[in-house]
Structure 1
Amino acid sequence: MRMNLSRFMAALAGLLLGVALAATAAEPMTKAQATATAVFAGGCFWCMVHPFDELPGVVSVTSGYTGGQKVNPTYQEVSAGDTGHVEAVQIVFDPKQIGYEKLLEVFWRNVDPLDKGGQFCDRGSTYQSAIFYQHEEQKRLAEQSKAAVEKKLGKTVVTAIRPAATFYAAEDYHQDYYKKNPLRYKYYRYGCGRDQRLEELWGRKV
């Protein structure tokens, strides 16, 4: 009887340990499933952070580089135009609070989708607009929204829709630039003619 009780207690301890380990392993997966990622390129990444940053359901917005072949590129390397990367923002969001469709809507409203040479005063391939989809559903929604924008504007939209590539966060001084350097940011944005062109394309914000 003592032998059976000992075996029973050992088996019970093993079972409880297995349950505890399973719960621990499942916790990161649950957190990962709670958020999703979107990546958009819309010219200068400084100017693409603010439109998404304060949306309910957006967890974080990171400035960075993607789409090219250079591993761990620097700002200077990307700016030189030899890496294949574009300036972009990576948005982590809670799909239960905000949908990808809404993010697409905000994206289009903050770019010039007719400009294939860059965005506003920033010229060259580094500043071309693009949507980097994470999976087929994002691709479908991106293509659907692009068709709607073409219909609305009555012109060919040149914004690329591309599969997601490795995203490299930009240097710290680029992150949240509009918060860290509000006066410089506003001067740059105005001097670049960004808001003037956006109003011309989409109308005045209400």
Structure 2
Amino acid sequence: MKSILHFNGTQRAVQSKDWHSEIISGGYRAVIFDCDGTLVESSETHFQSFNGALQAQGHQMDRGWYYARTGLNRLAILTAFSTQTAPGLDIARAARDSIKTFIELSSVVTPIADTKYLVDALKSSHQLAVGTNAEVEVATASLQAVDQLQYFKTIVSISDGLAAKPAPDIFLEATKRLGFLHAETLVIEDSPEGVKAAIAAGLDVIQLLLD
């Protein structure tokens, strides 16, 4: 997998086969992973859960519209959908219903091979965390589905009452919980919002370039 390492204001290409050596040579002692699109492939499952919740209120979400917004948090997606398509949408109900449906469907979520390999390589030597715009119960269900939950010291999420990415709050809190200096902590992310959040938090970040 291709990726870009954002380091101290610079950028350079890095192949996934070199991630582990970059982490060791860079002196990183802790790694914060995004969840959806980084650790797990869950976009279609999220789309189905959103659509099921919206259909219960008489609405339909276009797949392309959703896929253009996968880096956003649930309330941001539903608010945008309501503003553009469904002014009378009960957003709180749609959020609850979509979370419930996602958890019910989560067994079909699959791991992303290159980051799974990296977690396996780091789990005994580094402190690992998840920092996600998803709710904690959604992230937990995804990680359980791919048998990776046990490798992460903590999950920091929108459920903690923190501002969603691209605000830096989730990554700042994850860094605090892991207990290492910013210079010793690396973020692995796929979305532009997540990369912006990591940089705003003063952290180096590997940005996945997914096909």
Whether TM-score is above 0.5 comes out as no
Give TM-score scaled by structure 2 length: 0.27
TM-score by length of 1: 0.28
- Structure with higher Rg: it is 1
